[in-house]
Amino acid sequence: MARLELTSSSPEETERLAGRLARRLLVGNVVTVSGELGTGKTTFVRGACRALGIEVPVTSPTFTIGHRYPGNPDVSHLDLFRFKGVSPAEWGDLEPYFEDAICFVEWPEAAARVLPPVRVAVRLSHVDREHRTIEVESDDRQLLAEVSGDVDARV
């Protein structure tokens, strides 16, 4: 696994970064998005969705557990905040969201043992009110290069 660490100074920047990542994704890819409350996980997924052509509001699925946005391809957005582990029955409910879609999973820790192979693992953490550290892990070095490229150019 190769790893990249970046700093975002605004929600807009987090969305842009996610957008660069999204453009490398394919149907069936799973992206986990970890981090404490308020680090910008949903913001990250929103940025990725926008880059993938999803135009409807991308909202937190904490209560609804899953959203699936129709597109080309579909984008699924899961949130396992309310889960404590994932039982086989629960996996039965979640599995359809992974089929024929790019799937983002917030609070993936509960499903660590049942998730399909993860293409990219993203971790956001607090620095201060404005700044967040964004770690991106993937086997795909070209994807990481693409995610980082624009930031280097701008900084």
Residues 67 and 61 sit within 8 Å (Cβ to Cβ): yes
Q: Build a one-symbol-per-residue string for 75-114: x at contacts with other proteins by CB under 8 A, - elsewhere.
A: -------xxx--x-xx-xx--x------------------
Asked if 93 contacts 103 with a C-beta cutoff of 8 angstroms, the reply is no
Among 67, 77, 92, 86, which Cα is nearest to 47's?
A: 77
Could you give the CA distance from residue 22 to residue 33 in angstroms, rounded to a whole number? Answer: 13
Could you tell me which stretch among 2-10, 26-34, 54-62, 137-145 binds other proteins (CB under 8 A)? 54-62
Which lies closer to other proteins via its Cβ, residue 9 or residue 59?
59
Answer whether 94's CB lies under 8 Å from 112's CB.
no
Q: Which of 16, 43, 119, 121 binds other proteins (CB under 8 A)?
A: 43
Stretch that binds other proteins, among 22-30, 53-61, 98-106, 141-149 (CB under 8 A): 53-61
Among the residue ranges 13-21, 23-31, 65-73, 145-153, the one whose residues contact other proteins (CB under 8 A): 65-73
Question: By CB under 8 A, is residue 62 in contact with other proteins?
Answer: yes
Part in contact with other proteins (CB under 8 A); list of ranges 17-25, 66-74, 133-141, 147-155: 66-74
Angle (CA) 136-24-43 rounded to 5° is 55
Q: Is the separation of the CB atoms in 18 and 44 below 8 Å?
A: yes
Region of 21 on the Ramachandran plot (φ > 0 left; ψ -120 to 50 alpha; else beta): alpha
Residue 50 makes contact with other proteins by CB under 8 A: no
Residue numbers of the site for other proteins (CB under 8 A)? Answer: 37-38, 42-43, 46, 57, 59-60, 62-69, 82-84, 87, 89-90, 92-93, 96, 126, 129
